[in-house]
Amino acid sequence: MRSPMPRTDGTPLRVLIVEDSEDDAILLLRHIQLGGYRPEMQRVDDAAAMRRALREHDWDLIITDHNIPGFGSAEALEIARRHDADIPFILVSGSIGEEIAVDAMKSGAHDYVMKDNLTRLLPAIERELREAENRRAHQEAEATIRHMAFHDGLTGLVNRTEFERRIDAAVDSARRDGEQHALFYLDLDQFKLVNDSCGHLAGDELLRQLSRRLHAGIRESDTLARLGGDEFGVLLNNCPLERAERIARALLERIKDFRFIWRERGFGVSASIGVVRVNGDDDTNALLSLSDMACYRAKEKGRGRIHVYAQGDSELSQRRGEMQWIERLQRAMENDALELHRQP
């Protein structure tokens, strides 16, 4: 009886075969083809060639012989693990003891098959490919969850939680190393007009487009965050206050030059920005509060303005004191610490 002919229209499979015998490699290739795969194969027989093949190509599967003169399966396994521990690695040998096979599995090999029993090869390949796909899916799901925990779902920008963590780090570096950083609190002017006249879908699209425009105006080392609603935060690392003020004005110009179009209606956009220095004297909550108050002061001056907080800013210092009293009163009410006294 003739052996069945290998299929040529199957699933593509990129296979790196570590084998010194070309005949044995062809035999492995034939078994893979009979399983319905269309393998793209490269054979290597030493460490240098294996490293080069791993650098130059992506592989779905690695199959290695145990006994190659000057290059054993243990070294091949170590090279594969260092490159990518998730690539299925199957050991195929004509003579391998159980103890060696167990050691190989403990070191990271996914399975082993004897050359005189290659009927086990296809089930092993299919199982390991499924498990590799499951591992990738699990890793992608975990990465998505991590991303969602620290990024805004609408714009993809860093969210308030992650932004505050980065401000914490900036405060620490300012205290420890004397580095200068700057913090912006940016609030859109009349954003409510777009929401009320065109609906929340339009408002969401405006925020997405504006986020991309703002992000293009800062360095990769800086952070742009959405703090909520139409409010954004910017953290400029290693940036003196004078340069930060120039960057704030440049961002206002980028916003001013932007025109939002929604269903043939056009809207001009402007923003107000509060700027504070991150110098280690204040903690994250205080810095956010100061930048928020500076932004509010900029709004009071008119649309498209900035206000830079500096030591000796009597107006903001007064407001800061008022805000602190409000916080104290709120804590006192929560703790039932207020007392009523009658003055005759």
Whether residue 276 contacts residue 245, with contact meaning beta carbons closer than 8 Å, is answered with no
DSSP for 77-118?
HHHHHHH-TTS-EEEEESS--HHHHHHHHHHT--EEEEGGGG
Backbone angles phi, psi at 50, to 5 degrees: -65, -45
End-to-end CA distance of the chain: 117
Instruction: Assign 227 to helix, strand or coil.
Output: strand
Between CA 273 and CA 232 the distance in angstroms is 9
Cα separation, 315 vs 211, in Å, equals: 31
Distance CA 47, CA 106 (A): 21
Would residue 60 show up in a list of annotated catalytic residues for this protein? no
Q: Which two tokens stand for residue 100?
A: 């060696």
Type of residue found at 221: S
Active-site annotation holder among 230, 257, 292, 313: 230
Q: Which burial class, exposed, middle or buried, applies to 64 when counting CB atoms under 10 A from its CB (0-12, 13-18, 19+)?
A: buried
Contact 247, 191 (CB under 8 A): no
* Catalytic center residues: 230
